[in-house]
Amino acid sequence: MVSYVCRYIATGDAQQTISYSFRLGKATVFNIIYETCDAIWNILQEEMIVTPTSSHEWIAVADAFETLWNFPQCVGALDGKHVTIQAPPGSGSLYYNYKGSFSIVLLAMCDAEYCFTMVDIGAAGSESDGGVFSHCALAHMLERNSLHLPQMATLPMSDVSAPYVIVADAAFPLKTYLLKPYPQRKLDAKKEIFNYRLSRARRIIENTFGIMSNRWRIFRRPLIALPKNAVRITKAACVLHNFLQRADNNNGGTARHYCPSGYTDTYDNDGNVILGQWRNDASGGDLVSLSGTSGNRSSRDAARVRDILADYFVSPQGEVAWQYKHTTDALRI
């Protein structure tokens, strides 16, 4: 049963093609695929998509972000993608997105090694990006502080205190626990450096989506499925992605080539980005980014958190030697 699902998701073959290959009725293949997707999610989700439940576990995630991507006290990278689907019958404009196609939304957070730690799947493509986040379980848990994030701590080698945060792009609101870049207008060097350092950490979720959509090639075309079934397929793909990525990270099994060296974005010794192979493999049918938002008024506390980290990144304790090459103002602050 699992082989049918893996072939369907990995190749993007039509269900009718699979029914011909295995000499099974189309309805039989249909039932096998969706029931097996449900089984993959129900059995493996708790083991494979692991959300930290204690301060100790969140700190371990943050340590990896600091070691690998030079962003301290970061507990995850957050982003959302539109999963394109065929126009659902009788749905009107409910699933019609800003790109002119129909979709459901996959909102996800990942750790520093391209594994999903939380996913929220199924919002209608027409919903605003701020609305998708504000209505998801992750936002509610963050607002209620029910994720057990660590308390504020001093940044490495300094006496400056800052909270543990999630990094995201401009499509999301600025919160004390959720940082996004400074608006791209008349930035001084300090703000440019903050945006660059945040981009290094945020790029991990972008690469995670890239790995998944290019290994599970069903996402390279619109899903020929009702929204509820597109959700089932996407859930199974997220679980299978983590299953293979964890095996790949542990150098075990046949999954060692799931994400080979050079497949994701990397950086050279001067901090220049080297684009990963998945970007060359991408096509117009891949997962579509959420649109940018405007008018998200942030609180003074949220803006202060961003400013604290911006100041830290240009201090002797928080700077990296090559960051100043990535500002329009080449002068050291």
- Residue 279 confidence (pLDDT): 84
* C-alpha separations of 56 from 53, 61, 114 in Å: 8, 9, 20
Q: Residue 10 — very low, low, confident or very high, per pLDDT cuts 50/70/90? A: confident
Q: Are 80 and 125 in contact (CB under 8 A)?
A: no
For residue 41, pLDDT beyond 50? yes
For residue 106, pLDDT beyond 60? yes
- Residue 162 confidence (pLDDT): 96
Average pLDDT value over all residues in the chain: 87
For residue 268, pLDDT beyond 90? no
Q: Residue 36 — very low, low, confident or very high, per pLDDT cuts 50/70/90? A: very high
Q: pLDDT tens across 52-73, in order?
A: 989 999 999 999 999 999 999 9
- Residue 258 confidence (pLDDT): 82
Domain spans in the chain, listed from the N-terminal domain onward: 1-48, 49-326
Q: Which one has a higher pLDDT value, 7 or 167?
A: 167
- Residue 29 confidence (pLDDT): 77
Q: pLDDT tens across 120-132, in order?
A: 999 999 887 667 8
- Residue 296 confidence (pLDDT): 54
Q: pLDDT tens across 178-195, in order?
A: 999 999 888 899 999 999
For residue 12, pLDDT beyond 80? no
The mean pLDDT of 20-27, rounded to a whole number, is 70
- Residue 95 confidence (pLDDT): 93
Q: Residue 294 — very low, low, confident or very high, per pLDDT cuts 50/70/90? A: very low
Q: Residue 329 — very low, low, confident or very high, per pLDDT cuts 50/70/90? A: low
The mean pLDDT of 11-18, rounded to a whole number, is 72
Q: pLDDT tens across 189-240, in order?
A: 999 999 999 999 999 999 999 999 988 989 988 998 899 999 999 999 999 9
Q: Which one has a higher pLDDT value, 12 or 149?
A: 149
HEC profile of the chain: CHHHHHHHHHHCCCHHHHHHHHCCCHHHHHHHHHHHHHHHHHHHHHHHCCCCCCHHHHHHHHHHHHHHHCCCCEEEEEEEEEEEECCCCCCCCCCECCCCCEEEEEEEEECCCCCEEEEEEEEECCCCHHHHHHHCHHHHHHHHCCCCCCCCEECCCCCCEECCEEECCCCCCCCCCEECCCCCCCCCHHHHHHHHHHHHHHHHHHHHHHHHHHHCHHHHCCECCCHHHHHHHHHHHHHHHHHHHHHHHCCCHHHHHCCCCCCCCEECCCCCEECCHHHHHCCCCCCEECCCCCCCCCCHHHHHHHHHHHHHHCCCCCCCCCHHHHCCCCCCC
Q: Residue 24 — very low, low, confident or very high, per pLDDT cuts 50/70/90? A: confident
- Residue 333 confidence (pLDDT): 38
The mean pLDDT of 96-118, rounded to a whole number, is 94
* C-alpha separations of 316 from 14, 166, 311 in Å: 57, 24, 10
Q: Residue 326 — very low, low, confident or very high, per pLDDT cuts 50/70/90? A: confident
Rounded to whole angstroms, how far apart are CA atoms 110 and 78? Answer: 7
Quick one: CA dihedral 278, 212, 66, 190, positive or negative? positive
- Residue 293 confidence (pLDDT): 52
